[in-house]
Amino acid sequence: MVDIRLLVDSKNHLGEGPLWDVEEQRLYWIDSSASEIWSAREDGSDVKLYYVPTHIGSMALREKGGAVLALANGFSLYDFRSQRLTHIGDPEADEPENRLNDGKVDRRGRFLAGYMSYDHDRFDANRGQRPVRNSALYRLDPDLSITRLESGIKCSNGPCWSPDDRTFYFCDSYDDMMYAYDYDIETGSLSNRRDFASNRQYPGTFDGSTVDAEGYIWNAHVFGGRIIRYAPDGSIDREIEFPVRNLTSVMFGGKDLDILYVTSMGRPIKGVPQREAHAGGVFAVHGLGVKGLPEPRFGG
C-alpha cells in the first residue's frame, strides 16, 4: 500500500532537486528562489541548511567533495564548510533574464543543466500563458569545459537517463512535452530527439524526473498534484495523487533506494492559490514496490 508522509515541513518557497547520496546516506534538496541548500537523514532528522548568494536551479555532489551548482549566473563549485563559491562560467551571461534550472550527472561524471527565463514569474497556470524567451541545455564536463547540447528551450526540466545510458529524457515544461534523445555515454552527445510523452491531457505541466531500476520514468506534475510513472514506450503506467498541488521533483533514496522523495513549492503563483498546510514541504512515498538507481557524483 502506498504511504505518503511529510518528511520535513521545510516550507520552501520553491523546493526543488531532491538528491539522495548513497555515500553519506543523506537527502539533499534546494530552495531555488530562497538561495538555500537543505539536507537531512532518511527519516527527516538532522536537518542542515546552507546558503548561496543567488538563485539556485540544481546541484550535484562532487567526487572531490563539495558540490557543483547551477546558479542564476552560471555554473559554480561550492564548499559546504566555508559556504563559498568558485565560479566556472555562465554561457548565457548576455541573457540576464535567463537562469540555470534543473540538472543531473550522467554515469561518466558530466553535469547536464539547462536554462529557463525569469519570465516564468508571469506564468498563469489556469490561463495557459507561457513565456517566450528561449534558452539552451548545456553539459559541464569534469575538466570544467562547457558545451551547448540543445537550443530553443523555454524551461529546462527533468533530465535523467535510462539504466543502460542509451536514452536521455528531458522536459521543456512550457511545451508540456517530455522528449527522448539517443545518448552517447562515451562522448556525452545527444541525437535523434523525439516526442516521448505529452502532458496536455492533465492540469499543470512536467517538472523534475527520475528513472527507476526497471527503466520507468517518474515525473512530478507541477500545478497538477500528481506523480506519474511512464513506461519506456511513453505510456502511462501509474498515477499517484498528492495532498499538495505544486510538486516540483522526485528522487529515489533511503538505504534500499525504495523511498520516493518529493519536493514541493510553497510560494503563491499567479492563478495557483496555495491552500495546503504543508505546501513547500518534502515528502517521502513508501510502499511503491520499486527501487531507484544510485545518483552519480560530478567528476570535476
- Binding-site residue set for a divalent metal cation: 16, 157, 207
- In angstroms, the CA 217 to CA 281 distance is 23
Statement: residue 275 has pLDDT above 80 = no
- Binding-site residue set: 16, 99, 101, 119, 157, 207
Statement: residue 9 has pLDDT above 70 = yes
Active site residues: 207
Those residues with Cβ within 8 angstroms of residue 73's Cβ, 6 or more apart along the chain or in another chain: 54, 87, 90, 93, 99
- Binding-site residue set for substrate: 99, 101, 119
In a 10 Å sphere around its CB, with 0-12 CB exposed, 13-18 middle and 19+ buried, how is residue 251 labelled?
buried
Sketch the domain layout of the chain as residue ranges. 3-286
Query: What is the rounded average pLDDT of the residues 87-96?
Result: 91
| In contact, 44 and 261? CB cutoff 8 Å | no
- pLDDT of the residue at 119: 57
pLDDT in tens, 40-53: 999 999 999 999 99
In a 10 Å sphere around its CB, with 0-12 CB exposed, 13-18 middle and 19+ buried, how is residue 218 labelled?
buried
- In angstroms, the CA 236 to CA 234 distance is 7
- In angstroms, the CA 264 to CA 248 distance is 5
Q: Which of 96-100, 112-116, 296-300 has the highest mean pLDDT?
A: 296-300
Statement: residue 200 has pLDDT above 90 = no
Statement: residue 179 has pLDDT above 90 = yes
Statement: residue 128 has pLDDT above 60 = no
Statement: residue 222 has pLDDT above 70 = yes
Statement: residue 214 has pLDDT above 60 = yes
- pLDDT of the residue at 15: 96
CATH of domain 3-286: 2.120.10.30
**Band of the pLDDT at 146, cuts 50, 70, 90?**
very high
Query: What is the rounded average pLDDT of the residues 107-113?
Result: 98
Among 269, 114, 267, which Cα is nearest to 204's? 269
Amino acid sitting at position 69:
L
Please give the residue that has the higher pLDDT: either 199 or 137: 137
Instruction: Say if pTM beats, i.e. exceeds, 0.95.
Output: no
